Amino acid sequence: MGHEVRYRVRGGRRLAGTVFVQGAKNAVLPMIGASLMASKGRTVLRNVPIIEDVRRAVELARAIGARAELHENERTLVIDASTLSSPVLPAEIASRFRGSFLFVPALLHRLGEAVIEGVGGCNLGSRNLDFHYNGFKRMGATVTEQVADNGDGIIHIKAGELRGGTLYCDTPSHTGTENLIMAAAMARGTTLIKNAALEPEVLDNIAILQAMGARISGGGTGFITVEGVDELTAVEHTVMPDRIDAGVFVMAAAITGGELNLVGATLEHLGVAADKLEQMGVEFHQQGAVLQVRRDRALRPINVITDEYPGFATDLQSPIMAVSCLADGPSYIYERIFDGRFKLAEELVKMGADIEVNGNRAKVNGPNGLRGAEVEAHDLRCGSALVLAGLAAEGETTITSAYYLDRGHAHTAERLSQLGADIVREVG
């Protein structure tokens, strides 16, 4: 994992000012997968978030033979996939981020096979991939599993030629929908995907694929139709803003009683989270592409039920748990998407919170003043929630295992410092 990353936050400062929302992690990763389907030319992705998952994706693209250059200052990624040569997604890179599995359709189309030595991502309980495998199989692929000498499973997917068919997700899986669309984009014939995910990132990925020449309709309806084409071409595309990053900054204003201008944030992309934050006392004012937020009244408690878009995003569930610690009364949180996403609660308790967890339900007994402590980021959103808690806590909070936070948020300490926070990132 390399060096230990820690964040130190001294709380108690009200945040104010303007912050730039980063490009979306969950949009850029499938776009890198899509760019690998172009056998000629160079794809240019703009507004790329400079996060660890993108660095891993660049390493993985190179490991399978593509040329990939990440220009960090320009937030631009240039990919030439004409040299793609290896079907193997090596464990040491692929097991560090979930988005690695989004490289599979390109490998199937370009090389006829994909060998998956490991798939990573945050450890949030069971995270299955059966919708992806079943879809690939319905399109004519074979999927076999071998056990390596070290006991790890290696998945081998082979597809001489993928052909269109009727596919479905049992529940509207985000990456599942993206993978099935990409598999169908260059398959022979027509594919119908039922119960497709509606997330804005899925639509942004459809947009780049359409620009590349893919024939996709029905995005955003739950029924997506794809007419396979023989070839996709390299294009230039600007990655949409990250609605989860935006949501965390909204909550930074909420938890510190601050006032922020979020450049690039769209209220609609927050779905039900916007309504829950309004119920807590946050005021929103969308001014074109800038979202103004402020909170200057007491925080009220809320009920949250996580759901697929436009429901309350599971990736904002941990951050809102941190905010609800300060709310005036009990808040109720029901996590429906992942069965292991409450490790945050025990860390918040170390900071003085009162939280009862029962399976996938949590009750946060607010209000409780938070105090600084040494806490651990068990996953990415646990990390962002602990930063929020640290901003509101009395004294110093040290967040360890913060590589997870860096997986998904760019320049966290710099951006928060510019708004008046006292936060530093330490490595080593």
Ligand X SMILES: CC(=O)N[C@H]1[C@@H](OP(=O)(O)OP(=O)(O)OC[C@H]2O[C@@H](n3ccc(=O)[nH]c3=O)[C@H](O)[C@@H]2O)O[C@H](CO)[C@@H](O)[C@@H]1O
Ligand Y SMILES: C=C(OP(=O)(O)O)C(=O)O
**Residue 381 binds ligand Y, judged by CB under 6 A:** yes
Q: Which has the closest alpha carbon to 103: 184, 206, 16, 182?
A: 182
**Residue 201 binds ligand Y, judged by CB under 6 A:** no
Count of residues in contact with ligand Y, rule CB under 6 A: 10
| Distance separating alpha carbons of residues 35 and 60, to the nearest angstrom | 13
**Residue 172 binds ligand Y, judged by CB under 6 A:** no
Distance of closest approach, residue 142 Cβ to ligand X, in angstroms: 18
Rounded to the nearest 10 degrees, what angle do helices 317-324 and 243-256 cross at?
Answer: 0
For residues 376 and 341, the answer to whether their CB atoms sit within 8 Å is: no
What residues between 358 and 417 interact with ligand X by CB under 6 A?
A: none
Which among ligand Y, ligand X, none contacts residue 22 (Cβ within 5 to 8 A by kind)? none
Exactly one of 242, 315, 379, 406 binds ligand X (CB under 6 A); that residue is 315
| Distance separating alpha carbons of residues 155 and 115, to the nearest angstrom | 6
Exactly one of 167, 408, 416, 421 binds ligand Y (CB under 6 A); that residue is 408
The continuous run of DSSP H or E covering 46 comes out as strand 42-46
Exactly one of 98, 276, 407, 415 binds ligand X (CB under 6 A); that residue is 98
**Residue 98 binds ligand Y, judged by CB under 6 A:** yes
169 among known catalytic residues:
no
Q: What is the DSSP string of 142-172?
A: EEEEEE-TTS-EEEEEE-SS-B--EEE-SS-
Q: Of 120 and 258, which CB lies nearer to ligand Y in the complex structure?
A: 120
Q: Which has the closest alpha carbon to 217: 181, 167, 188?
A: 181
**Residue 137 binds ligand X, judged by CB under 6 A:** no
Is 414 strand, coil or helix? helix
Which among ligand Y, ligand X, none contacts residue 173 (Cβ within 5 to 8 A by kind)? ligand X
**Residue 191 binds ligand X, judged by CB under 6 A:** no
Distance of closest approach, residue 187 Cβ to ligand X, in angstroms: 19
Q: Which has the closest alpha carbon to 169: 206, 141, 135?
A: 135
Residues that bind ligand X (CB under 6 A): 26, 29, 98-99, 126-132, 171, 173-176, 314-315, 337-338
* Known binding-site residue numbers for UDP-N-acetyl-alpha-D-glucosamine: 98, 315, 337
Kindly list the catalytic residues: 122
